Amino acid sequence: MRKHFLFLFIASILFINCDTNNDTVTNQHPIVGDWQLIETRDGFGGGSTFYNQNDVIYKFNSDNTLEVISTITEFESQISTYEISVDCFIEGCPGNNGNITDIITIDSDRNIIEQLDDNNLWFGQQIFDGLDLIFERLP
């Protein structure tokens, strides 16, 4: 009888201590969340374009998927994947002279992260006469 009681006692402790919620690893990167596009800046001689509330929303999910929701023709609503890394944007990092930076790769497009904090996100390829995207975090 004592053996059965001891077995039940140990089994119940093991059962109570097993928690499957601890097995899930999520992406806690600061980019995760909903971002409102407020401006694009176009290259060296280009200008800025400003956007209205809810024109374009980027939803960076913790599973590294990105949902773009657009109500304007300049941007297409789509679901993509993204990856954040610290890498050399210029191939070969000539001389390793400070070319290491934060990179966001959306599908296969690599972009430099210029700014990322609690409320602001700015990334793009303007240093190569490309387009920069500037966002504000949605509450």
Extents of the domains making up the chain = 29-137
- The tens digit of pLDDT for each residue in 60-119 reads 999 999 999 999 999 999 999 999 998 876 666 655 555 678 899 999 998 999 999 999
Fold that domain 29-137 belongs to in CATH: Lipocalin (2.40.128)
The 10 Å Cβ neighbour count of residue 79 is 11
Q: Exposure pattern of 105-124 as b/e (b: 16+ CB <10 Å)?
A: ebeeeebbbbebeeeebbbb
Q: What is the DSSP letter of 37?
A: E
Please indicate, yes or no, whether the overall pTM of this predicted structure exceeds 0.85. no
Contact 123, 110 (CB under 8 A): no
